[in-house]
Structure 1
Amino acid sequence: MAKYKLEYLWLDGYKPVPNLRGKTLIKEYDNFPTLDQLPNWGFDGSSTKQAEGRSSDCVLKPVSVYFDSTRKNGVLVMCEVMMPDGVTPHVTNARATILDDPGAWFGFEQEYFFYKNGRPLGFPESGYPAPQGPYYTGVGYRNVGDIARQIVEEHLDICLDAGINHEGINAEVAKGQWEFQIFGKGSKKAADEMWVARYILQRLCEKYAIDVEYHCKPLGDTDWNGSGMHANFSTTFLRETGGKEYFEALMAAFDAAKAEHIAVYGPDNHMRLTGLHETQSIDKFSYGLADRGASIRMPHSFVKNGYKGYLEDRRPNSQGDPYQIASVILKTIESVPTVAQLKAASA
């Protein structure tokens, strides 16, 4: 038997953006624990905006488990927040009620800024560095500094050790801005891995005295790009059948649901979706071939394959909740009948 350090992770009740929380439980196991071996665990919800002091008990229900290579016998446990009965989802538990389908695949592109002493890493104490241009996928101290790449490489290794489907990293358009990508099959799996990857990054940055800034436009109304969390998505039908007629019906549904999408794509998105800096205006919907300024970008491969494959929704921002983003995309997709269904209905 070995003593394992179980780091229970959950989302608190802060709005409009929940914070990640974590606390450690020590338990003995013969081997690395499986999900069904992990117990529910209580916490004080009055300290996380999830309960009142006079009735503060909340319950953490494990939903996914990952290896933590930063600790001896370390385990990361993603949890849902439940009411004291351990069965009823808490009102802040977005994961419990979202649409899910293992045939719906999501790839999230998480952009963020490293911050040091209240400014993006690499910015001078006053003013701005040279204009953006050389920083995207940049190399060299002048472009990326002396510590950012070390952090993102460590983050990548820890995520891969954990079994998270981390697919890549790159320096982004603004100085001090970076991106990582997470892919998962199913809304819950993809979103779980994104939240755990965010946690790993924030915890890693503690030892460097650096903060992770997820705000979608931390530099305000300036000529610097904001941060998005572009959502690449496909379904079994979109990958295997697709077709132009179905695609056009799908885009019409996305246009009709744009207000519902924007409502969960992250706060302050009006600051980012201005029609500038490779964005479409927040009140408009568009799609285009390889168009980084469209709401939905079609890759060349999608069109060449007969309107089959994946699409990229460029509107979600870096603060967005991937549970809700994946769910609203899937909800819109499921509202669109396939061509075969339309023919069957009219027969």
Structure 2
Amino acid sequence: MTKYKLEYIWLDGYKPVPNLRGKTKLESFENEPTLADLPLWGFDGSSTQQAEGKSSDCILKPVALYPDSSRIDGYIVLCEVMLPDGTAHPTNHRATIEDDADFWVGLEQEYFLYQDGRPLGFPETGYPGPQGPYYCGVGYKNVGSIARQIVEEHLDLCLDAGINHEGINAEVAKGQWEFQIFAKGSKKAADDTWVARYLMMRLCEQYEVDVELHCKPIKGDWNGSGMHTNFSTKHIRETGGQPYFESLMKGFEKNVAEHIAVYGPDNHLRLTGLHETAAIDQFSYGLSDRGASIRMPVNFIKNGYKGYLEDRRPNSQGDPYQIVSQILKTINEVPKP
């Protein structure tokens, strides 16, 4: 029998954005555990804004299992939070997503690495040189001495965990980076993104560095952080057509308020119409237009209005479960021809 280290992680009840929480359960198995082998577990919801002290028990229900190569015989166990009666906790947004295997999602997670209250590479006072050389940059003056090491180690941890990364790069602002995750299924990409965030935050502990997900941590003429969401359904990929696409865009325009409500807090600081973002109070779409709300890739029209689309409005701090759920909801409201 081998004793396995099972790191149960979940989302707490803090608003407007939940925090990740985790604690380790030790369990013995004759063989490597599967998701079906894992027991429910409890936690004190009064310490996570998910229960009152007089009735504080909440339940962790394992829903996804990831190998954890940073530990010997380790796994990360992604959990939904349940009430003692077995129903989903009000903070459990994952439980509300329609489980659509044909909904494909790619999430571009931007973030800043922070140390001593400022982005890595920023001087103690003032600012570094203006934006320009940092995007996909190389060299100490552009990316510093430890950021790339963190990013590469994080990539390996995620790949070891079975998370499908599509790419990584330094971003436009100094100290800003991005990783991209793609998955098939309306829950999978959001699951993987939350676990990837957890792995990044835990990795950065040993470097005495924080991960800053706020969408506009540096005011002024600096890029904010987004989580551009690429999406397609089977119909968009295989059938498409201009009439359906235009109807879909009308649906997105009608539901602007619903989308912005779940696309991350303080998005008005980022969605100004500058820095490759659409203004928060406007809706637009365009071919290869990074200033649009919805961007069509360069070959989308040429291919008969088929392929995938990119919603550029979600921000880096948004909850992927709520973002994915709202996009799918709007799509499902639009009838197919």
TM-score range, shorter chain: over 0.9
**How many Å apart are 1:31 and its aligned residue?**
2.0
Normalised TM-score (structure 2): 0.99
* Equivalent residues of 1:214, 1:319 under 8 A apart: yes
Per-residue Cα deviation, 1:256-289 (whole angstroms, up to 9, x for no partner): 0010000000000000000001011100000001
Matched with 2:335 is: 337
Q: Is the 8 A contact 1:65 1:76 kept in 2?
A: yes
Alpha-carbon contact 1:100-1:327 (below 8 Å) kept: no
Partner Cα distance (1:183, 1:9) in 2 = 21
Q: Could you say what secondary structure the match of 1:303 adopts?
A: coil
Cα RMSD for the two superposed structures? 0.6
CA offsets, 1:38-95, max 9 Å, x none?
000000001101111111100000000000000000000000000012x210111111
State the 1:175 CA deviation. 0.1
2:106 is matched with 107
Partner Cα separation in structure 2 for residue 21 and residue 216 of structure 1: 21
Q: In structure 1, give the amino acid aligned to 2:95.
A: A
Counterparts in 2 of 1:148-159, with a 5 A limit? 148-159=147-158
Unpaired runs of 5+ residues, structure 2, are none
Q: For 2:301, what is the secondary structure of its paired residue?
A: helix
Give the match for residue 288 of structure 1: 286
Cα offset, 1:99, TM superposition? 2.1
* CA distance in 1: counterparts of 2:182 and 2:222, whole angstroms: 27
Per the alignment, in what secondary structure is the counterpart of residue 187 of structure 1? coil
Structure 2 distance, partners of 1:233, 1:51, is 35
Letter in 2 for 1:179: E
Identity rate of aligned residues, in percent?
Answer: 75
Deviation at 1:301, TM superposition (A): 2.0
Does 1:21 pair with 2:21? Answer: yes
Paired position in structure 1 for 2:320: 322
Structure 1: unaligned runs, 5 residues or longer: 340-347
Letter in 2 for 1:29: F
**Counterparts of residues 87-166 of structure 1 (less than 5 Å):** 87-166=86-165
The answer as to 2:208 corresponding to 1:209 is yes
The alignment's TM-score, normalised by the length of structure 1, stands at 0.96
Q: Would you say 1:241 and 2:218 are equivalent positions? A: no
Query: What is the Cα deviation at residue 186 of structure 1?
Result: 1.4
Report the count of equivalent residues. 337
1:241-260 map, 5 Å: 241-260=239-258
